[in-house]
Amino acid sequence: MEAAVEVEEKKPKKNQAKEYLKGWVPYRIKRYWAYVAATVIALVMPWITINGNHLFLLSFDHKKLHLAGVAFDMQELYLMPFLLMLLFLGIFAVTAVGGRAWCGWACPQTVFRVIYRDFIETKLLGLRKRIKNKQKEPDMSKPENKVKKVIAILLWSVLAFIAAADFLWYFVPPEEFFQYIQNPSEHMVLIGMLVGTALFLIADIVFIKEDFCIYICPYSRVQSVLYDDDTLMAIYDPIRGGEIYEGHGNERHKEFSKQKELLAVNPNAECTTCESCVTVCPTHIDIRKGLQLECINCLECVDACTTVMGALGKPSLVQWSSVRETERHEGKTRIFRPKVIAYFTVLVLVLVALFAMGSTKENMLLNINKTTRLYKILDNGEIENDYIFLFANTDSKRHTYFFEIEGDLKEKIEIVRPKEPFSIAPGKKRKKVVVLRTKEKLADNARKDVPIPVTIKAYAVDDKEKVVVTRHTVFVYPRADLLKK
């Protein structure tokens, strides 16, 4: 009779466990899909062009910035501060809401480590026994493991060179990149950057590993400033699970490594002390200690605990939640709180400013510089001023350019050189020597030369409405006594 009662008690637990885990998708699988999406975006984006311009390209070779299919000359890099503000404000906003979600779900370091450790070493070569145990390193005393290690490094090296090339495609467009590497002797800087980047990725992923996240990456130091009680992170529930460590601050922690030790202190503790959340952690931390700089929010510990506690028909003790909801049990996590709203408000304002500034792009650039000779007095008393005009065609098609003087001086100053319009190919620059002459008396000063403001309107003869810029310079008129001589 007692045995029958015991069987009846176990059945609901099994059914409850089955029901609890029904439809559950591990965060690890979701992360893999996020990695696939990030990889596809990173590989495809450099190849996408709009009207011959890339979605994003910072070309030092051509001194241009391509943004959303619009090409900006280096003289138009007033947009860079907006891009940097978007980058940093975006990092701050994401961290305030989801902790180090970037690190665990999109950072190339994490993606590459998963490819090397979980796919190449574990799934492909069997060098590691299980994905769920990231603490135990392969036994390299075995000859077959040494061979597998070399194969793993070689396979990753191929991928590292592809990743390095993809990184360079954001600075050298792919179509030019493959032309350049066919003549390596003429492009040693590019080859050096390709090889150097690939070697760094090999050393980083194979040897430095997660130590990069722990000791090198500055993001972990920034996160503690940006976190608050509502920040989502991988967090252990000490109220349900029980305090695994006794002691705080600089005191030495006493660990209850066995469940009976924990239950002796807290009879209601649900943690089984199986340490699945510890062995699965790629940065080798124990999430039960609380927030730590090394945590990259990969949520592997959440999956591990969900599997163990789910088999017992209970929710996970480690969840992607907040201090408010999990540790303090003070209610639901507040996603839209004042700090987050402020971050996203500023982000929207910066985006609006970026698009506003980008929409005012000039399709022609013009720099006007005076030559070292201030003026020339001709025998007939006329005055000439010399200039260097630097035209840049930032449009996507060839244009024919000329310019004229605007305002009251239009009838008093004539253009001596050049006489005819000139053509410039798209993305090219052209320097022109310009001579302006006047026979009018523009000033009468016996003490000094007089700089007279002049407005120059330059335009494309074939598209005066769209391609037109206005620049200001001066016409230096000599003092009166020089004219009398």
- The rounded percent of the chain whose pLDDT value lies above 70 is 92
Task: Enumerate the CATH 2.60.40.10 domain ranges in the chain, comma separated.
Answer: 364-484
pLDDT at 5 over 60: no
Q: What is the pLDDT of residues 399-408, one digit of tens each?
A: 999 999 998 8
pLDDT at 453: 93
* Under 8 Å between Cβ of 359 and 70: no
Q: What is the mean pLDDT of residues 228-247?
A: 86
Q: Which of 93-102, 141-150, 279-288 has the lowest mean pLDDT?
A: 93-102
Q: What is the pLDDT of residues 318-375, one digit of tens each?
A: 999 988 888 777 888 888 889 899 999 999 998 888 777 766 667 788 899 998 888 9
Cα 374-378-381 angle, rounded to 5 deg: 105
Residue 128 burial (CB count, 10 A):
20
Element (H, E) at 83: helix 80-98
Q: Which of 7-16, 263-272, 348-357, 423-432 has the lowest mean pLDDT?
A: 7-16
Closest of 129, 289, 323, 300 to residue 210, by C-alpha: 300
Which phi-psi region, left, alpha or beta, contains residue 194 (left: φ > 0; alpha: ψ -120 to 50)?
Answer: alpha
pLDDT at 13: 53
Convert 256-314 into a string of H (helix), E (strand) and C (coil): CCCHHHHHHHCCCCCCCCCCHHHHCCCCCCCHHHCCCCCCCCCCHHHHHHHHHHHHCCC
pLDDT at 10: 42
Positions of E strands within 305-448: 318-321, 364-370, 376-377, 383-393, 399-406, 413-417, 422-424, 429-438
> In whole numbers, what is the pLDDT of the chain averaged over residues?
86
**Cis-peptide into 418, omega within 30 deg:** yes
pLDDT at 252 over 80: no
pLDDT at 96 over 80: yes
DSSP label of 138 = P
pLDDT at 141: 86
Q: How confident is residue 254, by pLDDT bands cut at 50, 70 and 90?
A: low
Q: Which backbone phi and psi does 388 adopt, to 5 degrees? A: -115, 115
Q: What is the pLDDT of residues 439-473, one digit of tens each?
A: 988 888 888 999 999 999 999 998 887 888 999 99
Q: What is the pLDDT of residues 391-448, one digit of tens each?
A: 988 877 889 999 999 988 988 999 999 999 999 998 788 999 999 999 988 888 888 9
CATH superfamily of 364-484: Immunoglobulins (2.60.40.10)
Structure tokens at 233: 């992170």
pLDDT at 330: 80
pLDDT at 18: 61
User: Tokens 């910035």, residue?
Assistant: 65
